[in-house]
Structure 1
């Protein structure tokens, strides 16, 4: 499998942007300079993430989310190309 990061990725199985193999490898997301672990979906080119809001669930049992705009950095966990290695 290549180490190419998709422009858009979702953790929801019904989404057309869902990629199970990539999610199993592990994806790290830094949003506005802070590493986040509650990101449900992201889009690098449009500069937004969709994050879970607390422990609240919608009527289908999925986490309630909010879409927030800002700079997004994404990398595969365990690769040497992570933004942490720049400094």
Structure 2
């Protein structure tokens, strides 16, 4: 499902709606109501493809390296046999 958007915005509301973060949407790539949450995927010029769950950004193409770097640290910290190759 690909839709091109002229002036559509994704807004993420925080702190009892006193703060919001907005991204202009170039394309809606996917929307789905799963048994657990509302899943949506969009494309933005600055952040690339980004995924939201229940109206909150989970990961973006531009900064996904931060997410993946952070999920590696717990495993690396507790593994006594880490080797550098």
With the length of structure 1 as denominator, give the TM-score of the two structures: 0.28
Structure with bigger helix share is 2
